[in-house]
Amino acid sequence: MGRPRVVIVGAGFGGLAAAKALKRVPVDGLLIDRHNYHLFQPLLYQVASGLLDPSEIAHPIRTVLRRAHNVDVLMAEVTGIDVPGRRVLTSVGAEPYDMLVLAAGSTTNFFGIPYLESHASGLKSLPEALLLRAHVLDAFERAAACTDAAQRARLLTFAVVGGGPTGVECAGAFAELFRHVLPKDFPKLDFGEMTLVLVEGMGELLGTFAPRLGRKAAKALERKGVRVLLNRVVRDVSGGALVLDDGQRIDAETVIWTAGVRAVPAAALLGVRAASLGRIPVTSTLHLPEHPEVFVIGDLAELHERDAPLPMLAPVAIQQGRHVARVVAARVAGRPEPSFRYRDKGTMATIGRGAAVAQIGPIHINGFIGWLMWIFVHLVYLIGFRSRTIALASWGWNFLFYDRPVRLIVPPGSKEA
């Protein structure tokens, strides 16, 4: 009898962690993803705001798994899953499995608001970040040549929707770009006409943090010129403008949507009923109750601890990916399978140059010390010495000179000479 074949779908944090952890397990692995790179999604907003180059947050999957000799890589689109036949159907053919690990991740949640998806920019993929960067810079170029005051005001109005970590970090990064970098590029443009708004549906920013840290973040953003609107929910998009629940309209050329995510629609592929946000309920060992050979991890999995589902965060996905490898090893060796327990190591968010908030259990940190902690943690999670070195140099350069070096208008897919 041959070695068990483990197929992993998705090269995000969870899938890549599982693949790397399988290198010492006597199985044959296959990692399937539609891209040939692993993306460090938490820093996409820094690509969009011109601070980092895409190569600093994306790393070739085959390079990452170079030492995992028992794990192969397939770049393909998954089109279906034959659970009874134990096959993953892809754009290049079917791949059989003895055990399957689904780590396909999440997508932007537009909450069914009509026209919002076509009007707003998400931040879940590299093409989205590059398109947003090009769109923002193009808005300033058009504003510089615009003679109509109303149209210029629309071009110079930017709305970030969602006051979680991604929204706060995004608003802080763009505020610094608009206040300290672009005025030097556009000296004839009146930046007093520029408006940056952060819209949050709850009564405070960073709802998963301690309230004090949310208030600190709001004050820091306001000092950077961000207009923070709390207890406001986007209800509609009408005439190209965001319509809030109190009737207020925000006529913005650029809308950045960070208000939530939902699992990719994988439940239907498995023939199971989805739970909240499209997530798939799993057992304590991270597999489907009726199919122990099918594991689901990361943003796609719903597992409750302390009467609440685990958050859709990278640390959860990484720990679950490593745990699945331990379960597979135990299953191959005939040992009892361990249950998963999430170890919360804290959360943090940067508000821009020299400022961040961090919450590690009862310890709350903000300001410059929090920012240094944020840098250290992200350097640990970034893949590759080169990426860490260049990212650290970019953060240091921005700290000293308030500069965003990657200000190129090159939309993804552009073929212009």
By DSSP bridging, strand 78-82 and strand 87-90 are antiparallel
Backbone torsions φ then ψ of 230, nearest 5 degrees: -100, 160
Express the helix, strand and coil content of the chain in percent, nearest 5 each. Answer: 35, 25, 40
- Torsion angle, CA of 40/42/45/46, rounded to 10 degrees? -60
Backbone torsions φ then ψ of 82, nearest 5 degrees: -95, 90
Question: Would residue 200 show up in a list of annotated catalytic residues for this protein?
Answer: no
Which candidate in 169, 200, 204, 337 is catalytic?
169
* Structural tokens at position 90: 């892809």
Look at residues 308, 305, 391 and name the one whose alpha carbon lies nearest to residue 342.
305
Within a 13 Å sphere around the CA of 409, how many CA atoms are in the beta-carbon half? 11
CA distance to 94, 99, 340, 413, per residue, from 7 (Å): 11, 6, 20, 31
Which sequence positions are flagged as catalytic? Answer: 169
